[in-house]
Amino acid sequence: MFIDSIILHNYRAYKGHNETLFKPDKKNIFLIAGNNGFGKTTFLTSLVWCLYGKLMVDVDEKFRRDINDAQGYKNYARQSLHKEFANLVDSCHISVEERRQIVRNGYSSNNEYIKGIAQYYVEVSITNVFIPSIPCRTITIRRTYDYFLDIESIEVLIDGQVNELAKEVGYDIFINDFVLSKDIAKFFFFDAEKIVNLAEVKSIDEKRRLSIAYSEVLGIKKYEDIKRNLENLRLKFRKNAGSTISKTKLDKLTYSVEEIEEQIRIKETERETIDGEIQKYRAESIQIQERLIREGNAMSVEELKKQKELYSILKDKDSKLKERLRDLLDIAPFAISGNLFANLINQAITEKNIKNTIANCSAINAALQLTQSQLIEKIPGLKLSEIQQKTLEHLILSIFKQNVLETNSDQLENVKVLLDYNDNETNELQALFDYIRYSFNTTFKQLVKDIKNNALFLAKTQRKIVTAEYDDGNVEIKELRQRRTEVDEALSILELQSRQLSELIGTLNKELTVRKKQLSEIQKYIRVDKSDEAKDAIANRLIAELTTFLFELRAKRKVSLEKKIMAGIDMLMHKVDFIHDVRIDLKDDIIEIELLDKSGEIINKEKLSKGEQQLYATAILNALVEESGIEFPVFIDSPLQKFDSIHSHNIITKFYPNVSKQVVIFPLVGKELSEDEYNALLPNVNSVYVIENDDACSSFKKVVPEKLFKTLL
């Protein structure tokens, strides 16, 4: 896919009609340069809004926060009309009746002027889009918002014409399915400074959300969706069949699953809202803290930042150490039980040995009895007298009775089965016993020591930060400190609420798993109607085939992604063999990416510098885009933040030219992109636009790539 043109009409800072044109060429890099506040990020946001509208909250957390800050999507959309025109609309004197007429019948010749100033839109034209069964050269997407009527509309044209199929499906669904899925858009529209988030994901929920995006971009999710639809189809068949009692149980469990899923969605929305508030309060806290330092002259801002980073690391370490302690405390009852646990192990091992003995005896007895039968059959062939024959048969029978029927009888009679564990359960119990016997005490003591030492460092660092803010001689600083206290208290409450919601969501997910297993079990015992038997059998077969296929696909994608991420790291990082290998671990719906050193030990990502984390995240992004096979332009804001000169050169010469056939970057020229860096980029630069701003109105000016710096100077 290739974006031919983008039009911003009265969108935020872009007053009037503003168009950028892109021409396909061997040179794949396009620059849209401008100073801070001129509209680089706004331009990127406009594209996301044009494609997804209110669904942009699913693209990136940033957009969700922006909409939350605006107190909802409606207010967010209203704020996107250029301020001059918003003021003009607000000043229009329209009667209530006339407004009703416009809402019912649309604008008339008498009030058409309102439409001209009340509407803003963003339009994107895309070529080389493959749509099955529909000939297509160009797709044009225009999303419009009417400030006066508070109505949003979208228009999608295929080769300049309305397509009934696209219209019937729904334009938002059409864009999501055939242009770019909102779940993976974050990998194509991103702030390079913030993609480090890919490397900093910690919580299970964050990993789960990111894993969904990974599954989407790797082509796994569509097969999972098909499998889920087939499972729902089989559930439907069983709802239509079976006894009244079975149907009641099925309906009850189905309702329970749906109810829990809805609760999870509600709680996740609540948590996201709270997390947005947390981000706001954290930003305010940092601002106050830095101001306190400047006013109090106790510690430099840079020193304070280092202390804050150290405090964050120590606090996270404290949480992890305490989590390990909780895990040890779970098995502590076994450790303090002493001889009781030892007796339990002995009983389990004895029962295991007896079971093995019984099994062996059964096999031996069967073999001996067969031998007895064969011997007795052969006796007539020995030509013995009748007395000799009977004597020999009696002798064989007495020996076999003694050795076969009475084998281990005394032993077996004396055994009392108390536990009846299987071999796996016994082995697990033995492993736990060995760990407690040889390692538990040492591990426990060391862990308690580590927690105490870390707590001391944590308290010391916190005191340094508090001391840096202390200044009794300044009234303004006292007020700032008071506000800081209020902010931190509010922050603590919100963080507690977020943790509680996360715990609740975790509990609900566990309950959901149990309910789904129960639902699966009850389905096994409900026979479908004869009319649905053939379809149910086909669905069952397809589910089995999809399960196997998904297992193989995940394994294939895992190996391929590992290689591509490692290749990206080798390409971008200048530290040779610092990261020796990449390992991807697939656990249920969680994708864990681990970095390994030469010794095969896991590298703590927190020890990577911000620049190294960004490079690692860039390597992930590059690998995902390459692995997906999706040919969509890549848009990059703040392209070279946090990179040193060596890494910047690697990004410019190796990443940008290869990540996509069309790469649009939004640099702050001079700061994020030096003249030397631009000269290294220039051989791959197709065209350049400079954002100009006059009286709070932004517009595009196309410049000759070779004259960019001269133009800006």
pLDDT at 529: 73
pLDDT higher than threshold 80 for residue 193: no
Helix (H) / strand (E) element for 434: namely helix 423-435
pLDDT digits (tens, 9 = 90+) for 486-495: 888 888 899 8
pLDDT digits 0-9 by tens, 545-560? 888 888 888 788 888 8
Residue among 214, 452, 422, 440 nearest 321 (CA): 452
pLDDT at 52: 93
> What's the pLDDT at 300?
47
Among the listed ranges 42-51, 258-267, 355-364, 383-392, which one has the minimum average pLDDT value? 355-364
**Per-residue model confidence (pLDDT) at position 155:** 92
Among 632, 637, 620, 619, smallest CA distance to 211 is for 620
124 pLDDT higher than 90:
yes
pLDDT(397) > 80: no
pLDDT at 364 over 70: no
Q: Scanning the structure block, which residue is given the tokens 């994608």? A: 557
Beta strand segments in 37-103, E? none
Question: How far is residue 528's CA from residue 507's CA, in Å, rounded to a whole number?
Answer: 33
Torsion angle of the four alpha carbons 580, 450, 433, 429, in this order, in degrees rounded to the nearest 10? -60
pLDDT for 264: 87
Query: Is residue 474 scored above 90 in pLDDT?
Result: no
Integer Cα distance of 7 and 401 in angstroms: 98
What lies within 8 Å, CB to CB, of 283 at 6+ separation is none
Percent residues over pLDDT 90 in the chain: 8
Q: What are phi and psi of 662, to 5 degrees?
A: -140, 115
Which residue has better confidence, 101 or 61?
101
DSSP 119: E
Which residues have C-beta within 8 Å of that of residue 111, sequence separation ≥ 6?
A: 94, 98, 102
Q: DSSP secondary-structure letter at 343?
A: H
What is the C-alpha separation between 612 and 593, in angstroms, rounded?
15
H or E stretch covering 477: helix 475-524
| pLDDT tops 70 at residue 368 | no
- pLDDT at position 410 over 60: no
Mean pLDDT rounded to a whole number for the chain: 79
Per-residue pLDDT at 595 exceeds 90: no
Percent of the chain past pLDDT 70, that is, above it, reads: 80
- Tell whether the model's pLDDT for residue 621 goes beyond 50: yes
Structure confidence at residue 291 (pLDDT)? 74
pLDDT tens across 34-67, in order? 877 778 888 989 999 999 999 998 888 788 888 8
Residue 242 has pLDDT above 80, yes or no: no
What is the average pLDDT across 84-88?
A: 89
Stronger pLDDT, 505 or 380, i.e. the higher one: 505
3-state secondary structure 106-120: CCCCCCHHHHHHHEE
The pLDDT of residue 126 is 94
Residue 14 near residue 671, CB atoms below 8 Å: no
Query: Over 80: is that where the pLDDT of 665 sits?
Result: yes
Per-residue pLDDT band for 679 (boundaries 50, 70, 90) equals confident
Contact 298, 469 (CB under 8 A): yes
Instruction: Determine the average pLDDT of the residues in 361-386.
Output: 67
Among the residue ranges 23-37, 416-430, 518-532, the one predicted with the least confidence is: 416-430
Whether residue 643 is predicted with pLDDT greater than 70 in this model: the reply is no
Residue 217 CA: distances (Å) to CA of 165, 183, 359, 362, 628: 25, 8, 52, 57, 5
CA atoms of 552 and 220, how far apart (whole Å):
11
Residue scoring higher pLDDT (370 or 99): 99
The whole-number pLDDT of residue 303 equals: 63
Most confident of 97-101, 197-201, 388-392: 97-101
Above 90 in pLDDT, residue 11?
A: yes
Categorize the per-residue pLDDT at 361 as very low, low, confident or very high, splitting at 50, 70 and 90: low
Phi, psi (rounded to 5 degrees) for 694: -130, 115
- Would you state the structure tokens that stand for residue 155, as one six-digit string? 């228009």
DSSP 603: P
Q: Which residue has the higher pLDDT, 50 or 440?
A: 50
* Of residues 402 and 224, more confidently modeled: 224
- Among the residue ranges 320-324, 409-413, 559-563, the one predicted with the least confidence is 409-413
Neighbours of 469 (CB within 10 A): 20
Write down the pLDDT at residue 140: 93
